Structure 1
Amino acid sequence: MSTADSLAKVIATLDWDGDLGPASLAVDEAEQLRSRLGDGATRWVAGAVEQSLTALHGQIHDSLAPWPIIRTFTRHVLTATLLRLADQDRLPVDTGAIDRDLAEDIVARGIPLSDITQALRSMQREWLSLLIDAALGVRPDGIGVVPALATSVTGTMDAWIGAATDAIVEERRRVYLAEQVRIRSAIELLVTAEPVDVEAVTQLLRIPLIGWHLSCAIGVPPGGTVERRVLDGLVHLFARVVGSERMLRYETSAGTVHLWVTTDRPARTPRVEDLRVPAPLLVGIGEPHPGPDGFRRTFLEASDALRLAGSLGDNGGVSYGDAALAIVLSRDEERARWFVEHELRDLATDSPEMADLRNTLRTFFDTRMRIAPAAERLFLHRNTLINRLDRIQAVLGHGVAERPAETQAALVLAELFTRRPEDPSTGRHEFGA
């Protein structure tokens, strides 16, 4: 007699005399079993499921386990197992056959995959033991089918463990993506100054919102590309330099990456040089600020610093603390250019002579309008510097000490505009001004 015939003979003897549990098999499963294997096999599946679940109850002690859902899933698996033994496997083994509520419960409560596998293997051993007992009762052919029973039942359970794992992984991915959407929404509310529940957002973002935040914006000039590993390396370096593992990351559709590192006290703001920024990446670094308002403020500072870095075409980037005046003054470029023309007059002209005079005036201000230190820094004779200052005052139409604040601001803007590449990009961030 062939193995298939012997298996059929064993299956034909299956029946269950004891309790069949709180409910019968699902209609489709019961119909398949009854039509293919008879009423006895149908009762056997229901009984074997209850026996294996009783044993499982004694092992896991989970008061929150959704036993009705587990029972339905277990009946489905054992039905598939028996039909495969009879070479009538009509129930597909795939993630769609795993009840969504069961996967949700497993993921929501953080049940390890190893626990799920262990539970399924426990039921496999229970069912296999029952089938072997039935086979040993069929003499003389039953003993010979024991290896085939073990192989078939184990193979079927392997497939279902794989399907369950896929379903759980997919549910974890769905939950992760849903959480990422909530995280992005919370960040967008914070940076647009919308009211938020501080405690709820703290739990969602997993950072103390009342702490100190330091932001960095990372971007690539138009037309540039960068490998993800290079970008990720810079991200992690920023966190290490600041000295905190509490980091939040937000990526825009334009390819800009915004980072926040949160600390318990004001962090040391890293210099651009500390980050060793690889080309063509550019960074903008904000200043540390506390609380929800500080979360937004450091973001805006970093974003504006990145915008300025993109405008200048600087290698590496810009720190807000080093360029706050230029950042603020250049927000409205058209009016800023008008201001430069108004304050500097012909001194704003893009020529070598006027550039030299602007540098002279800038150095004069940097040395607190003292002739000797300025002349020394410029490598000029004292009288030569005085003559240059006379020339500058003639161009300005007033003494350099009459409007020092306006004149110095105009010099900052003039330097900014003369350093721009021919095809400047504003690099504005997605959240607006």
Structure 2
Amino acid sequence: MDAGPSAGAAPADPGRWPDVAVVPSASRARVAVTAALVRRALSRLPLRVRFDGGGTVGLGGPLLEVRDPAAFHARIGTAGLVGFGESYMAGEWDAPDPVAALTVLAAHTAELIPAPLQRLRGLWAPRHPRDERNTPDGSRTNISRHYDLSNDLFALFLDDTLTYSSAVFRGFPAHWDRLAAAQHRKIDRLLDLADIGAGTRVLEIGTGWGELALRAAARGARVTSLTLSREQRDLALERVRAAGHADRVSIELCDYREARGQYDAVVSVEMIEAVGAEFWPVYFRTLDERLAPGGRAALQAITMPHERMLATRSTFTWIHKYVFPGGFIPSTRAVEDTVRDHTGLRLARRDAFGAHYAETLRLWRERFAEHAPQVGALGFDETFRRLWTFYLAYSEAGFRAGYLDVHQYLFTKENPAS
């Protein structure tokens, strides 16, 4: 882990990271009340939280060190969990094993905020900026802010398949040298679910860097793949040409709502998280409309418990602000209710494998840490590296705690002639 300011970390650039470089103004009363609430919540958890100059609270467990308690409490008191993440980016707190500490917090998320404040969440929690709605124009901007950061950055911590979604391993613990095979196993399971083979007309919503399209083409399918990321499209096209599949794969810079034609199969991997709840009906109707009768749709989706999804539906989070603007993770109930209420598709199968995502994220996080000097050489500063470390650890913790899960879905479209 990168050290914080007290251990010699570089201060955040105020031009690039204005809300990290400057501790927000907060009255002494607000800081004091926040400190009391935070310490009370943490004292009930299986953690050891050590405050610089202020003792230790918690029931024992992974260590979390608060190096600048005043700044830590000021940020949480003014920006909630967004402030908690920004405090990490600023180096005001750290942990020898961040995943272990964050897993405890993820497992007790519903208990961290007192019930009266939970009921008043709509009054105090920050709300989503209107310009981050996932309209066609908003989606292009939101996707670009994450996926167009740099192909070279993603290549530093992804395996050679450049697959940025959960793998499926044969066993645990997972090893880096088996990650590419585990990614192919995941892709092949989806292609098998969708019954993709020679001559299959495939629509892929969300290209990534092209690995699924390449494996579908290798089976003899004809693939139309849609992406909103120019960086991803450019590299995916290079990979398609290099593999000799340019006659079978078309990659279009196109919103899913602009798709046309009919296909035997639709495949979409971890795309629904970027759709936004208000557009879920549109997304699933698009799958239905693009599928030919008798067609199959195979999806991979991250999910969260339905109650937590409802509680946080309107909340603007640290992940929204710094990693995935406009993103929102559905519950399995939300997915299945939306499909039932807005399409003629039938749920045929759903398989969960959240533990595999935790291992995938661990491998990415370790690889990212190993390549920190190369990340810096690409122009990403120390604050960004702490941001990305926190993002990967935070996500891994969510899966280890069971707060997050990942599923592969198969939906089928009835053939009227059958």
Where on the TM-score scale, by shorter chain, does this alignment land: which range? Answer: under 0.3
TM-score normalised by length of structure 2:
0.22
Q: Which has more strand, going by share of residues?
A: 2
Larger RCO: 1 or 2 (CA < 8 Å, sep 6+):
2
TM-score normalised by length of structure 1:
0.22
